[in-house]
Structure 1
Amino acid sequence: MRKTIFSLLLLSVGGFGVAQAQFSRPLSVGIGGGTTINLTDLANVEPQFAGHLDVDGLITPFISVGVHGERGTLKGHGYESDFKNKFWAFNANAKVRMGQFMGLPDNYSYYNLQASSFNKILANVYVGAGAGFIKNDIEANISSLYRTYIEENGGQISTELNGMNFIVPINVGVDIPFGRTLYGPQWAVNINYQHTVTTKDNLDAVVNKKDDHYGYISLGLKYALFNRK
């Protein structure tokens, strides 16, 4: 995981010089929602809703750093047991978009006004990674047979149902810009998949040999602040 984040930073630095002229480095705020998918010991998925808020700052037109806050629910069942986790999550992250490596004109205003819609969407396909925390609020019903099986195989049923864990989120998505101005798009529709890896196996109250993960598929809307017109 550390290698993935380090490689992302190297790629960002390598393509830093693209399309800088007439770029105002705006902030953007975003809001969205979608579906969570638990990847836990109780692996029968019951899709649930989550919502999020984002604040991102553009270093170049295609590299951003930001913060992400998330509120949602994870739910699953299996082995005559079930759990529900009403969680809060927060992370800081960086994203690199394809436009950073597409050899675009140095004059960003010219590119922004002349590029086709297809090229602008393609240039805003991104990957990203970050680090943060998740705050659990777990309700679990664990059958006696499953509890015995877990304990006999070196695991346990956690008593820390409201704990906080370190997480590493990995993002893949696209910003679809519209409302263009001389210095960049004013709005964007965001489609994102976030895969979150925990460092403690405790999203479902079952502590076993493998750390829990979860996925979050979301649709959002972003608005650029302080962008010159």
Structure 2
Amino acid sequence: MTKKLLFAFVGGLLLTIGTVSAQFSRPISVGAGAGATISLTDLANVESKFAFYGEADYLITPFISVGLHGEKGTLGGHGYESEFENRYYAGNLNGKVRLGQFLGHKDNYSQYNIGASTLSKIVSNIYVGAGAGLVKNRIKHHIDPIYLDAITNQGGELADDLVEVHFVVPLNVGVDIPFGRTLYGPQWAINVNYQHTLTTNDNLDGIKNKNNDQYGFVSVGIKYALFNRK
């Protein structure tokens, strides 16, 4: 039964990829933006820090894309007379699926793009996504001896190496707000995104304890479609 459901889902997705594709130029979009990070680590008190990103996406259909995302920023937190700062680098390969892929728009994308309302375009470009990548930590921290004892008692330890690379899984939810209409799709878009990054290592803050660390990144950016016919 599970296999049948999986095949049915994949088959349905392939059928939807065939719609809303006529007159679509499959552009590559590039974008950049900035925002605030939120660390979810062993030090409970969160400090919002700054990060910025650059990305490139290839649109398989008007509403499905695969892309590369690069990010540089800072994570911070404090608690128990301790604090840390992580000036990190991250990169990932990701995919996004937008709501418009499932809304039954016209087969001819040019007709849809010209006739659709602004609200319809915004709703159609709400998306979810996931990916896989790496993060490089560069950590400075001060740990109070009392907290250090508590970590040791729980079987944890302080990281000896404060420069480390490990695997991450970014999860995204957001919206592209298109503008600059052309016959084959919007030329520009404002992007609002929340990325929640799951790590495979409990070391975003330099403290290795029970649970793997995580962090969030709220951002606003601008996107531009390359090679989009006008």
Give TM-score, length-normalised by structure 2: 0.94
Superposed counterparts of 1:48-127, under 5 Å: 48-127=49-128
Displacement after TM superposition at 1:12 (Å): 4.7
CA spacing shift, 1:12–1:213, aligned 2, 3 Å: farther
- The aligned amino acid for 1:126 is Y
CA spacing shift, 1:102–1:171, aligned 2, 3 Å: same
Q: Deviations over 1:128-176 (max 9, x none)?
A: 0000000000001011110110011111111121000100000000000
- The aligned amino acid for 1:165 is H
Asked if 1:222 is matched to 2:223, the reply is yes
Displacement after TM superposition at 1:14 (Å): 5.5
Q: Deviations over 1:2-37 (max 9, x none)?
A: xxxx9xx94754531220100000000001000000
Asked if 1:209 is matched to 2:210, the reply is yes
SS at match of 1:184: coil
Whole-Å separation in 1 of the counterparts to 2:108 and 2:208: 54
- The aligned amino acid for 2:181 is R
Give TM-score, length-normalised by structure 1: 0.95
CA spacing shift, 1:75–1:12, aligned 2, 3 Å: farther
Whole-Å separation in 2 of the counterparts to 1:197 and 1:136: 14
Contact 1:22-1:183 within 8 A present in 2 as well: yes
- Aligned residue number for residue 188 of structure 1: 189
SS at match of 1:137: strand
- Aligned residue number for residue 3 of structure 1: none
- Aligned residue number for residue 140 of structure 1: 141
Contact 1:137-1:163 within 8 A present in 2 as well: yes
After the TM superposition, which of the residue ranges 157-166 and 170-179 deviates more from structure 2?
157-166
SS at match of 2:18: coil
SS at match of 1:185: coil
State the number of aligned residues.
222
- Aligned residue number for residue 160 of structure 1: 161
Unmatched 5+ stretches in structure 1? 1-5
Q: C-alpha root-mean-square deviation of aligned residues, in Å?
A: 1.3
Contact 1:19-1:104 within 8 A present in 2 as well: yes
Whole-Å separation in 1 of the counterparts to 2:178 and 2:103: 17
CA spacing shift, 1:12–1:211, aligned 2, 3 Å: farther
SS at match of 1:25: coil
Whole-Å separation in 2 of the counterparts to 1:99 and 1:131: 24
- The aligned amino acid for 1:135 is K
Whole-Å separation in 2 of the counterparts to 1:30 and 1:19: 24
SS at match of 2:228: coil
- Aligned residue number for residue 3 of structure 2: none
Whole-Å separation in 2 of the counterparts to 1:219 and 1:32: 6
Runs of 4+ in structure 1 off by over 2 angstroms are 9-15
- Aligned residue number for residue 128 of structure 1: 129
